Amino acid sequence: MASTPTTEGLVAWPADLAARYREAGYWKDEPLTAPIWRMAEQRPDRIALIDGDTRIGYAEMCRRADALGARLRELGFEADDRVVVQLPNTWEFVVFVLGCLRAGVIPVMALPAHRRHELEYLAEHSEAVALVVPDTLRDFDHQGLAAAIRDAVPSVRDLIVLGDAREGAIDLRELCEPPAAGVEPAAALEALAVSPDAVAVFLLSGGTTGLPKLIPRSHNDYRYNAEAANEVAGFDEETVYLVTLPASHNFPLACPGLLGALLAGGTVVMLQSPEPSRAFAMIEAHGVTHVAAVPAIVQRWIDHEEAERTGRLSSLQVLQVGGSRLVDELAARVRPVLGATLQQVFGMAEGLLNMTGLDDPDDVIIGTQGRPVSPGDRVRIVDENGDPVPVGGRGVLHTEGPYTLRGYYRAPEHNRRSFAPDGWYITGDIVELREDGNLVVQGRDKDLINRGGEKISGEEVENLLYRHPGIEMNAAVAVPDPDLGERVCVYATLREGHRIELDDLRGLMRDAGVAAYKLPEVLVIVEDMPLTKIGKIDKKALREDLAGRGALRPGTTHYPAGR
């Protein structure tokens, strides 16, 4: 079955901007992978990847990726085919993604926590030809689920499995084997000449609508994303970068992430969990210099180091923190306790990256989320009427630049709302621009819950909960949480004769195959839902009501007194 070419759902950069980005040298008109392959020629034996006891040099990594790319072609994968990738942090993830980039196959970056609800949608929406999954992980049968999705989604032809591939599935490790003697896949792949303007990867939006949107990132723009971040984060050949966040997320993938480390000629260490004792052991064992984390992890690392005084972090130079707001008190403890320079990162899968500089004064490093990493980035802050806010004021952040999308994939209607008439991306983040050019994230004007860096769309949760016969109206809002920053709280009114507990709603969502992090953790039943003048649920009023209730523990249901 011939699928629709990717180009049909894309919004291109305007020609004048594209010309400017080329002239300025942001876009190098080469495949993203080119500098990595050059590194393999210059320094073949330098270690590129470490995963447990496995150590892979640059030349070997590139040979394996080329062999994988060539094998995909033999199996019938073509340039522009989409593949949903859901893999743990392993060396095979890196070889697979690089092999796809070389062969022009486009990875769709799912998260390990995704389940049927998300994966099926991603496969359908991208018309993926294959899924790549682990056999099982943390007792979950990913291979079984992927097989069910293959049966349900017509475009999906193949399953590629890390671990024991069952009948009819392709073994990822076999695909990753170096080429057989006498076979030279590199030249054949180079002859394919992947266009630098082609989509390199699809990232997922945090999503404020029913389902996540796909974000096309081109070879030109995504490579620049990583290279611009490299400059500000100080990545070079000496860098040893530890991946503990899910590698398919933009932050550890390319901000600068593992791609930045490889583009700089450094070493990437893959680890499947950010649990402090394991992560600290890896940092010590491999002399890790840079790592990225979300604030909830930083809290655990600081607590662990304060309690254990491990002294295992002496190699660590930079701790990048982003994904959700790092509170100033925690920020101030990073250097004294962990001994590393804090780098705040306020980024988004859509593009724009803001970072504090490594040499910035303490008040900037501790109290701001930094500034755009590229001179080509443009930002403006506007009030409710769309008028510019003066320096020092607050408003919604809009941006455009050499690595910020111009439109979500195949989402024309959503694009009309997410982009200003002049094409700038409306981030939905409420920020303050300081005199010194640094941004401080103050809140947001978007229907999203940020659970320790994991983004949950209110609308997606609400749509699912309307499947419950007892729910009359419902609204998902963020409840503040000391560990994760926010958790999902659902307000609901009930139909006559129904009584619902939190666990009923969690069960419903679990049965629908929804990723666990999206499940509500607090349920508040109310007699009447507050409505706005135009009859929409008034979430602002709900947030105020929530604030008045004090701390609500996760796992609790709250009925009005007397019910």
Q: Which residues bind ligand OOB (CB under 6 A)?
A: 206, 250-251, 255, 322-325, 344-349, 369, 427, 429, 441, 444, 450, 453, 455
Instruction: Dig out the tokens for 275 from the structure.
Output: 């649990």
- Residue 151 Cβ, how far from ligand OOB at the closest point, in Å? 31
C-beta of 255 vs 494, nearer to ligand OOB:
255
Residue 30 or 445: the one with the smaller Cβ distance to ligand OOB is 445
Q: Cβ neighbours of residue 318 under 8 Å, at least 6 residues apart?
A: 233, 234, 289, 290, 291, 340, 341, 343, 358
Q: Which is nearer to ligand OOB, 253 or 502 (CB)?
A: 253
Of residues 325 and 468, the one with the C-beta less far from ligand OOB: 325
Nearest approach in angstroms of CB 206 to ligand OOB is 4
C-beta closer to ligand OOB: residue 171 or 231: 231
Minimal CB distance to ligand OOB: which residue? 347
Can you tell me the distance from the alpha carbon of 103 to that of 191, in angstroms, rounded to the nearest whole number? 10
Cβ(543)–Cβ(509) under 8 Å? no
Residues ≥6 apart with Cβ < 8 Å to 7: none
Nearest approach, Cβ of residue 507 and ligand OOB (Å): 27
Residue pair 89/80 in contact (Cβ under 8 Å)? The answer is: no
Q: For the CB of residue 249, give the shortest distance to ligand OOB in the complex, in Å.
A: 7
Of 338 and 439, which CB lies nearer to ligand OOB in the complex structure? 439
Q: What is the DSSP letter of 177?
A: S
Rg (CA), the chain: 23
Query: Minimum distance from CB of 326 to ligand OOB (Å)?
Result: 6
Contacts of residue 175, Cβ cutoff 8 Å, sequence gap at least 6: 67, 68, 71, 72, 96, 99, 160
Q: C-beta of 379: minimal distance to ligand OOB in Å?
A: 13
CB of 215 to ligand OOB, least distance (A): 8
DSSP string, 178-216: PPPTT--HHHHHHHH---TTSEEEEEEP--SSSSPPEEE
Residues sharing a CB contact under 8 Å with residue 131, sequence separation 6 or more, in sequence order: 83, 84, 86, 119, 123, 146, 149, 150, 156, 158, 159, 160
Q: Which is nearer to ligand OOB, 404 or 427 (CB)?
A: 427
Q: What SS3 state is found at 162?
A: strand
